[in-house]
Amino acid sequence: MASMDSAVLTQILKQLETLQVSQQALQAKLDGLTNPASPPFRPTSSHGLSSPGRSPLSALPTEVPTTASPVTGASATPVDDKSGDKVVTDRERERLLYPGRVTLTTYPDQHGVKPHPLTWGASEPKERGPIIPSRLPSSIKHRNAIGAHSGSYSIYRALAIAMGTLMPTHKPDYSQTEPPVSIPPQPSWFDPGKIVSFDPWGHLTPQVFRAEMDSGLDVRPSIAVTKAHMKMSELDEAARRGDIEVDGRVVLKSAPLLNADGSKNPADPGVEINISKAAVEPVWYLPGVAERFGISESLLRRALFEDTGGMYPELITRPDIKIFLPPIGGLTVYIFGNPALIPDATVELTLRVHDECNGSDVFGSDICTCKPYLTFAIEECIRTAQLGGVGVVVYFRKEGRALGEVTKYLVYNLRKRGGDSADKYFRATELIAGVKDMRFQALMPDVLHWLGIKKIDNMISMSDMKYNAIVQSGIPILKRYDIPAHLIPMDSRVEIDAKIAAGYFTSGKPITEADLVKTVGRTWEETEH
């Protein structure tokens, strides 16, 4: 029996060695594709991509590793097209991209798997360590994070690789991409309980983890900081009314408008707002996220595994990996005034934490107050910046109270058919979604700590959930603003009154049950006329 076990073990080891050689051979082939001497190949599948130019994967060689697993589909035999160039089939490309059996790093302490050390909340980036979710051959054995960079956009990356428009081994060039404004380390970065939902070093990754990147590890930024001009028609109108002043620093006059023939249009071109902004991808430190919500880490991992369709088995099998990159949930920070003033507690700071509403924010739907409230907050941030302070708007991707736009529109249908009154507002959502709101705000204050905010002078929000989450995280709020009544669209009075009555908002307006019944939205028939 012992000799049989030994023979089996020897055979397994030989197979592993063969697979390793095949993977190394593939990597050598992929690395060599940037060589101009590579022969011209073209993929057979056009799918709208056919063009005179060559796609990056069109140069894949046709030799297939002997350990490649069988793949059904297109013919594996390369053929010549009319130009005489060899054509790489989908089957060949799949074998070359993903040779051999699927490589799993499912269990901790398995042979060859050694995650790169990472200590969340460490005071130095070298001690903290980079976030590495990559499955490229150079990084897969050193992965210390579950998931993929770019969240839901990683699916488009996969599609681009499959269709031959992107090399999986493409190495980004991050030179000239460093932030034009400084978001320096804050004491809160080094408190493992203050920031648990994204990587505070994410915008400095190419600088502070350069050695790891140069060694071949696939390390990528999860935050980008830049500068821009903001242009909104509502701000143009505010400037024309005199509500905001063109000062040449925060508010700038727009360039003259042009007619179709290129001549100048005499109409008022409006204004532009000078801003700094940061895009942030989520990076969850699972023990910290679990503690923030008052649940066990094992329960959090199991829920994430089950309700993403089992997409991330390592949530269950790799308890040693503590970092998870969710497939959705990013945010954008807009800064009005000098970003360097944000950590200065003596400087006035105005804040709006805004949750995404595509229908209102982008397309102007008047069934809710989202865009009017956002616009009002931006104007307040501008006025604060012009007085020497700083304004901050944080825009979270939490569409439809984090229930999603499909659910939101289904609720709209139910409301309009069932009588759109404030007393039925939340009941309609609960009938479809099972809960009235999934925007749990416990993780929201992380971005405020990343910026170094010490106190908030003016919070443009009526939300008690947001207020409580911020104050409980250690940041005091001195003043809160309701949305002015004249900015509330007629059809969104249902939402406002229902939220006040449900305790969402602290407001000076008392709401009775009789008020809720009387507060009704328009019907579809009224909309059509």
C-alpha span between 172 and 219 (Å, rounded): 10
Name the active-site residue from 54, 157, 397, 439.
Answer: 439
DSSP 521: P
- Degrees (nearest 5) of the Cα angle 236, 241, 246? 60
Query: Considering Cα of 159, then 164, then 168, then 172, what sign does the dihedral take?
Result: negative
Distances from the Cα of 416 to the Cαs of 401, 411, 424, 488, 526, in angstroms?
Answer: 19, 9, 11, 19, 11
Strand pairing category for 349-355 and 251-253: unpaired
Name the token pair of 258. 């042009």
Name the active-site residue from 199, 437, 446, 497.
Answer: 437
Using the structure block, give the residue that is written with the tokens 């989520």: 282
**C-beta atoms surrounding 370 within 10 Å:** 21
199 catalytic per annotation:
no
464 catalytic per annotation:
no
C-alpha span between 288 and 506 (Å, rounded): 30
**C-beta atoms surrounding 161 within 10 Å:** 19
C-alpha span between 426 and 436 (Å, rounded): 6
Q: Is 88 helix (H, G, I), strand (E, B) or coil?
A: strand
Alpha-helical (H) ranges within 216-339 are 233-241, 286-293, 297-306, 314-317
Beta bridge partners of 258: 264
Q: Amino acid letter at 465?
A: M
Using the structure block, give the residue that is written with the tokens 């993780």: 443
Q: How many CA atoms lie within 13 Å of 323's alpha carbon, on the beta-carbon side?
A: 27
DSSP H or E segment with residue 80: strand 79-80
DSSP 438: -
Exposed / middle / buried, residue 192 (Cβ in 10 Å: 0-12, 13-18, 19+): middle
Using the structure block, give the residue that is written with the tokens 């499909």: 406
Strand pairing category for 284-285 and 41-43: unpaired
Question: Which residues are designated catalytic?
Answer: 437, 439
